[in-house]
């Protein structure tokens, strides 16, 4: 449960910090602060994974009991990420698809720098 909740907050932060309406230049600060807090909270509880790739390497080297528990550290972050995406997009935040993103980028940059929507 801890891994699901921690990954939920990490992915929610990533989605929110990279959103169109988010201020430019603060992504690193937001992600760094959240990742630090997640590790401070999660290390005493589960040794904090929140990233399946970070769990696979140590499990392979340790073997035995670590391999037996690896399924949890693969499934829990995926569940947390899916939950975060569902919550964020369930709020009705407008998104731009991959096909329109290159065309929308100049307009978004102008909007972010001035706060005024171009015509």
89-103 residue pLDDT tens: 888 766 666 666 666
CA distance 110 to 7: 33
Instruction: Note whether residue 8 is domain-resident.
Output: yes
71 three-class SS: helix
Tally of domains in the chain: 1
Instruction: Note whether residue 96 is domain-resident.
Output: yes
Q: Which domain holds residue 106?
A: 2-114
Instruction: Note whether residue 119 is domain-resident.
Output: no
Instruction: Note whether residue 20 is domain-resident.
Output: yes
Q: Find out whether 27 and 16 touch, Cβ atoms under 8 Å.
A: no
CA distance 54 to 86: 24
Residue 58, pLDDT score: 86
- The model carries a pTM of 0.72
Instruction: Note whether residue 57 is domain-resident.
Output: yes
CATH (domain of 11): 1.20.1080.10
């Amino acid at each position: 449960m801890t891994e699901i909740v921690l990954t939920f907050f990490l992915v929610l932060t990533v989605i929110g910090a990279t959103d169109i309406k988010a201020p430019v230049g603060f992504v690193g600060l937001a992600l760094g602060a959240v990742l630090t807090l997640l590790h401070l909270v999660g290390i005493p509880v589960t040794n904090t994974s929140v990233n399946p790739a970070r769990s696979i390497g140590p499990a392979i080297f340790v073997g035995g009991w670590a391999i037996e528990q690896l399924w949890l550290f693969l499934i829990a972050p995926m569940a947390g990420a899916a939950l975060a995406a569902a919550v964020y997009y369930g709020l009705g935040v407008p998104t731009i698809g991959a096909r329109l993103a290159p065309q929308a980028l100049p307009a978004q940059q102008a909007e972010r720098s001035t706060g005024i929507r171009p015509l």
